Structure 1
Amino acid sequence: MAEIQTAEELIRELYRHRKVIQHLFKRKAASFDELTEIADGKEKEILQAKARGMISLQEGEPARLDERLLNFVEDFLEINEDIRNFEVDESIRILKKNIYLYEMDEDARERERYLHRIKRSLLSIGRVIRKNAATLSNLVKQEYKTASSIELKRIKIEDHNEQAEKLLQLITNAEELLENSFFRVVPDESLRLIVNDLKGTHLTMARHNLIALRQEIVRFINQIAELDRQHKKIIQLKKLRDLYELEVRTNIEEVFAHENALFFDTQLRFQTMLDLEYLRGDDGLDLIERVALRRQHKIRMQLQAELDIDGDLLDPQQQKMLHVDFSKLKRAFFLQKEDLLTFVKSYDFGQEMNDEQLVKIYCQVALIFEDEMDFGLAENPFDEAKQVISEGKQFAFIRPKNFKK
């Protein structure tokens, strides 16, 4: 783990963060706020646990125990639900290698080191085999009871059966290895006790448990096959029942025997002459009225479509929109000496303009360029402003502000 160099330091850090570790081991995951509450509000302690590699804390994800620490605790407590047959196979391989090195090396210290590794491998083999056998037994019973479908039960049970078969083969390999003369000639009492305990307790007990488990698996597989057979039979019976009800309670056979219609074929229409006696009756009269109304509607729609538009409604004259370039008009106004109203009335707009249009242009120019215009206001507010009289109407006397008299 990060920055932890000794076992003493590791034990100290585990004890220091014991509350957080215990909570995460129990809950598997927790939020940062939840861990802070567990740590009595000390956020720094959570960050230190992350820095020390005790917990895994990523942004946007819940906190979890570091994978190495989680595996260590689960392995020590033997509560990991993984079937690790590969560990047994690897331990057997390492055991064979260390036995060979022990026999080849004549150095007493090296031999002692190899012997220690051999003991560790033997203990590991016994522990993992015992744990795998117990875990397999629990998983088989659990999957058989909780799997959501028959097919899912079958797949999982068969997979566990293969794992049990592999584990039995590994037990056989371990028993054959323990018959090696090495274990009889090495004068080490603790090694002899480990071998006897492994052979007489762990391997034998695991073998008996696995044999019983495989018998139970066979029983489960047979039950699953029977359930599957019964399920298929029930489905078939339901189909037969539905078919029987269709045959007995309906005239489907008679219809199929005499009906040759194609459901998805184009519908065929036939025109036939109606009987005069039928047309003279009430039903015939109603039919004639409906046909007459439909024909009148078609004729009315046709007449509306064929109506010509009266030429008097069309105005042959084109309407021209008045367009004035006010920027050009302003430049021309600023280059002459007349007031705005006189200028507008004398300006050539390219078309004939009436008085109403000219007054409108006069007002528009005054409003658009208001900041650049002098409206003839007197300096004394009690004096009257300059005005222009045209056709009996008074207009403001407007000139450019920079106009020089």
Structure 2
Amino acid sequence: MKHFGSLKELINTLNWSKDLLSEMFEKRKSYLYKYDQALELLESEDKLNTLINKEIINQNGAYIDLDENFLEFFEQILEVNEEVNTSYIQEVIKQIKQNIFYYLQENNENRKYGYLKIVKNQLRKVGRITIRNVVDLNRNIENAFKTEPNYKIKISKLEAFDEKRRTLTVLIEQTEMLITEQDSHFFKAALDDELKIIVTRLRQQLTESRHNLIETQKQIIEYLNQVKHQSTFIEKIKQVKYLKDQFELKAKSNLIELLQERNVLCFEPKPSYRFKINLSKLHTDEGAQLIEKAQSRLKKPNKNKLPVAESIAADSLQALTENEIFINLKAIRDSFKASGNNLFDFIMAYNYPREVSYEEKITIFCQMASMYETEFEVKESFKQDGKVEYAIVYPGK
């Protein structure tokens, strides 16, 4: 493998190959990407060989695929990884404990700060990956129940996911014990504002994860019961089908007696009513009388005619118009860009074509700030005019 000489080189390589890598990543599950297709997209065999030599892409004969390390990196960053990796959480918890121990044993303040920084990053990481694993677990359970056609494999997958659920629950408990102030001298000695915020956020994430796992347990139990019931039902159907094919259904089962006892309506023969008249009979006088008789029965009675309305008076047809003066926000925007003033003061002092109330001016200010947000420069500071608090907005550069 030819390693990258620097991070800048890696970023540049990913940049000029972004179209190919994006397409290969999108088709990573359902498509075998060919070498010739990649060459056509990159338009350079040297660039393609560079990706292969750097092991960003692996070549297998006429086909290529993304290297496992880059594939895992892309899935984690984009949060589309479907694998529930509990061992990764265990490793992070182990690293947190190690760095806490190093912090408590270290006397040098600079090195102690380095250990503290590592612990903060790992605490953020463990909360994030715990939430992500719970989401992936629920998605995998749903997919296994809905898409797996084999009942034995479906039950096995659901039971394996239930085991991972129990493991996640244990890891959440371990993490909560780790950050409990009463059980850790570290969180008493090193607690600062940033660490306090991180620990509070982590507790919220762990609580949310625990509640989701309780619902996950209920869902797994329900799915397993449904699958086992369906599996038992399918096995019985298969057995009945086998006996029927062997012409032993009546001899080796009591199906006929059961059907007679239940007397279910769906097993009754469908009735059919046939009252078709012979066509030759319709050509006779008797047939004509039958047609007239049927027609008289089907003939609908005459509906009462609706009364006709009187003519509308000519003066009522005269058009009435009402003039209303509209405020042109686009014209206000153009004037504001040329003014150099802040938007609120400009709106309040603007010469409108009609009388505008204070409330309408506030509405115009909100509309302008919302509609032309990309053209204006919104400051982080605020002011008050005695009634409302407003943001400082200037024309964009």
Q: TM-score, normalised by structure 1?
A: 0.57
Q: Which moved more, 1:210-219 or 1:2-11?
A: 2-11
Rounded to whole Å, the distance in 2 between the matches of 1:139 and 1:187 is 38
Report the counterpart of residue 144 of structure 2 in structure 1. Answer: 143
Q: Can you give the 5+ residue segments of structure 2 that lack an aligned partner in the other structure?
A: 254-397
* Aligned AA (1:171): I
Rounded to whole Å, the distance in 1 between the matches of 2:194 and 2:5 is 31
**Bigger Rg, structure 1 or 2:** 1
Q: Does 1:130 align with 2:131?
A: yes
Number of matched pairs: 245
* Aligned AA (2:104): E
Report the counterpart of residue 121 of structure 1 in structure 2. Answer: 122
* Aligned AA (1:192): K
Rounded to whole Å, the distance in 2 between the matches of 1:17 and 1:196 is 41
Q: Does 1:221 align with 2:224?
A: yes
Report the counterpart of residue 206 of structure 1 in structure 2. Answer: 209
Rounded to whole Å, the distance in 1 between the matches of 2:37 and 2:241 is 55
Rounded to whole Å, the distance in 1 between the matches of 2:201 and 2:249 is 68
Contact in 1 for aligned 2:57/2:67 (Cα 8 Å): yes
Contact in 1 for aligned 2:130/2:206 (Cα 8 Å): yes
Secondary structure in structure 1 of the residue aligned to 2:216: helix
Q: Does 1:156 align with 2:157?
A: yes
Report the counterpart of residue 89 of structure 1 in structure 2. Answer: 90
Report the counterpart of residue 230 of structure 1 in structure 2. Answer: 233
Q: How far is 1:66 from its partner?
A: 2.0
Q: Does 1:32 align with 2:59?
A: no
Secondary structure in structure 2 of the residue aligned to 1:119: helix
Rounded to whole Å, the distance in 2 between the matches of 1:247 and 1:187 is 76
- Aligned pair in 2 of structure 1 residues 162, 187: CA closer, same or farther (>3 Å)? closer
Q: How far is 1:231 from its partner?
A: 2.8
Report the counterpart of residue 195 of structure 2 in structure 1. Answer: 191
* Aligned AA (2:199): V
Rounded to whole Å, the distance in 1 between the matches of 2:64 and 2:238 is 49
Rounded to whole Å, the distance in 1 between the matches of 2:67 and 2:224 is 39
Q: Does 1:49 align with 2:61?
A: no
Q: How far is 1:244 from its partner?
A: 5.1
Secondary structure in structure 1 of the residue aligned to 2:63: coil
Rounded to whole Å, the distance in 2 between the matches of 1:27 and 1:132 is 23
Q: How far is 1:9 from its partner?
A: 2.0
Aligned ranges 1:1-400 → 2 under 5 Å = 2-28=2-28, 29-39=32-42, 41-58=43-60, 60-179=61-180, 180-200=184-204, 202-235=205-238, 242-243=247-248, 245-246=250-251
* Aligned AA (1:43): E
Q: TM-score, normalised by structure 2?
A: 0.58
Contact in 1 for aligned 2:55/2:67 (Cα 8 Å): yes
Q: How far is 1:247 from its partner?
A: 8.2
* Aligned AA (1:15): N
Rounded to whole Å, the distance in 1 between the matches of 2:153 and 2:58 is 34
Rounded to whole Å, the distance in 1 between the matches of 2:41 and 2:241 is 58
Secondary structure in structure 2 of the residue aligned to 1:148: coil
- Aligned pair in 2 of structure 1 residues 185, 33: CA closer, same or farther (>3 Å)? same
* Aligned AA (1:188): D
Q: How far is 1:131 from its partner?
A: 1.1
**CA RMSD, aligned part only?**
2.1
- Aligned pair in 2 of structure 1 residues 247, 84: CA closer, same or farther (>3 Å)? closer
- CA-to-aligned-CA distance 1:32-51 (integer Å, 9 cap, x gap): 11001111x21121112222
Rounded to whole Å, the distance in 1 between the matches of 2:46 and 2:243 is 72
* Aligned AA (1:98): N
Q: How far is 1:6 from its partner?
A: 2.2
Secondary structure in structure 2 of the residue aligned to 1:64: strand
Secondary structure in structure 2 of the residue aligned to 1:3: coil
* Aligned AA (1:30): Y
Secondary structure in structure 2 of the residue aligned to 1:63: strand
Rounded to whole Å, the distance in 1 between the matches of 2:189 and 2:218 is 39
Rounded to whole Å, the distance in 2 between the matches of 1:186 and 1:148 is 54
